[in-house]
Amino acid sequence: MSTESKMKLDGGEFLLKNISSNDIFTTEDFSEEQKMIRDTVIDFIDREIWPQKMRFEEKDYDLTVEMMKKIGDLGLLGVNVDQDYGGLGMDFVSTMLVCDYISGSSGSLATAYGAHTGIAILPIYLYGNEEQKNKYLPKLTSGEWFGSYCLTEPTAGSDANSGKTKAELSEDGTHYLISGHKIWISNAGFANLFIVFAKIEDDKNLTGFIVENDPNNGISLSEEEKKLGIHSSSTRQVFFEKTKVPVENLLGERNGGFKIAMNALNVGRIKLGAGNLDGQRRVISGAVDYANNRVQFKQPISNFDSIKEKIAMMAASCYAGESSCYRAASDVQSKIDEYISNGLSKQESELKGVENFAIECSILKVGVSEDMQNCADEGIQIFGGMGFSAETPMESAWRDARIGRIYEGTNEINRMLMVGMLLKKAEKGELDLITALENSMKDNIEDNGETIDELLHEIDIVNNCKKVFLIIMGKAFEKYGEEIEKNQQVLLALSDIMIETYFSESTLKRTIKNIKRSSVNDQSHQIEMAKLYIYEGSQIILKKSKDIIISSCDNKTQKGLLDKVEQLVSYNENPNIFAIKKSIADKIISENKYCF
């Protein structure tokens, strides 16, 4: 995949600049190699997983391990890891693609895969020294060994650095003795290796360690947790009692564990976004197939507008999620390429590339995980009473989706983080937010000159959504100053405006790009999905803006601001939303699957 001619934006800069559709990556841009990887994963899921779907609901942890080993045999446990360490050495988009289509299997397998390839392998790959990488990565990428990530503690969840697990250097200086208690540890029941975070003696910050799993070395596990979903994902508590860890297994630098943990979570967040996409596609396809075959009142229920509305909304959200995830993945890869060209190692470049787009990582994690939950919920509703039965895939999809809003930092934490990170980037001079705030009341958001007659209103609305965010952010900062981060309801509302703006623009640009290389007629239903998503997003932005204005501004200021925002996100000609929903649904119903 070439990124040479792309306009390169930094993380968060999408709010300040307009980018051409030619400069974003879409699923229609997959290379032949990427299509082959996608088809390999789909074939594996259809052949190996779906015929045994019910076994995953019966806490069959051995089946999860068996399937993980088969994924290892396909070479997919180390997609982005260098070939020198047993991986495939592929680009970031390809890594996202595998996470995407693995999500169509089951929540249990997708969780095992994500925990192993993300937060278990990546800390070693990105922070380990050569000896550590050569020793552990080939075993982990092949599936000979599986890894687990031990960060959360009974008193340290979102506030990860408050963990109490201790590491004391032995008298002879050859090893550390780790003692502590970790909870909610994915893959713990079959892990050969743990990435453990502990504080050395009285340090203020965490340090990372590579700890081999040996029950004779002070390591014990609780029974498997009883969970709402992901039933065959091993989740246990892990106890360390003076566990000996050689000094050479310290990961990265002393006191550097918190940075390792946070950067691993950033990667996990963007991959979690992609890791909900094929789950949505399969829920939509399953729901449509059921609706086409379920006859009531002498006709298939797919004929009814109430069902069509659900199908259309599910599809538009999935289309928007795809557009956003792959746009961001390509932007990360572009930044990685830039760092490599400036002389940084591949590992350093990957670290900095993902860190640069930490805002987008949180946006995707929140937006797609919530869309997946809504999609599964509507899937159940389309199935009606059968949807509530464990005999249908909708029930397990809904339960498995629920963890996505908690993983990798709760959605509430991520919402507050994305606004905080934007302000920090501005404070460091990495984003010219001040100038953008000053100009937000004017009509000078950069225009890239793209005009598509069928989407003229949407182009204006998306540009104006950026202006609304800047106006509202400016007024909120004017009111609260540096105390803004303590006003969580304001942050939550601002983050929703950010999310809808990013998803709306990504959807719009993908559609425009595909119109340019095909035709308006060929993209007619994609145009409708863009219209639908942007209309719905603009209504969310309008509401959240009003909430902030009414809560943060005096009566004198309120009316002018409310009028300004309403003017910016109002259509000159409102789209016929009911007709659009019906047309989108009719296309999917005729294909009997999600077909975009």
| Vertex 409 angle, CA 225 and 197, to 5° | 75
* Structure-block tokens of residue 440: 């937000």
* Structure-block tokens of residue 199: 């504080």
Q: Which helix (H) or strand (E) segment is 65 a member of?
A: helix 61-73
Check: CB of residue 348 under 8 Å from CB of residue 339.
Answer: yes
> Of 529, 538, 502, which Cα lies nearest the Cα of 367?
502
Check: CB of residue 162 under 8 Å from CB of residue 195.
Answer: no
Spell out the residues 6+ positions from residue 548 whose beta carbon is closer than 8 angstroms to its own: 472, 475, 476, 490, 493, 494
The burial class, CB within 10 Å (0-12 / 13-18 / 19+), for 540 is middle
Tell me what percent of the chain is helix, strand and coil, each rounded to the nearest 5: 65, 10, 25
Spatial distance between the Cα atoms of 543 and 565, rounded to a whole number of angstroms: 10
How far is the CA of 167 from the CAs of 206, 246, 250, in angstroms? 10, 11, 10
- Do β-strands 175-186 and 295-296 pair in parallel, antiparallel, or remain unpaired? unpaired
- Spell out where 252-374 has E strands: 295-296, 299-300
How far is the CA of 422 from the CAs of 38, 298, 491, in angstroms? 34, 55, 11
Known catalytic residue: 168? no
Name the active-site residue from 355, 408, 505, 528: 408
Query: In this structure, what is the dihedral angle of CA atoms 464, 470, 473, 477, given to the nearest 10 degrees?
Result: -150
Spatial distance between the Cα atoms of 334 and 217, rounded to a whole number of angstroms: 44
Give, rounded to a whole angstrom, the gap between the first and last alpha carbons of the chain.
Answer: 21
> Of 482, 486, 447, which Cα lies nearest the Cα of 464?
447
How far is the CA of 247 from the CAs of 146, 167, 175, 192, 576, in angstroms? 22, 11, 5, 19, 66
How far is the CA of 318 from the CAs of 279, 405, 495, 537, in angstroms? 10, 17, 20, 14
Q: Does residue 514 sit in helix, strand or coil?
A: helix
The residues assigned a catalytic role are 408
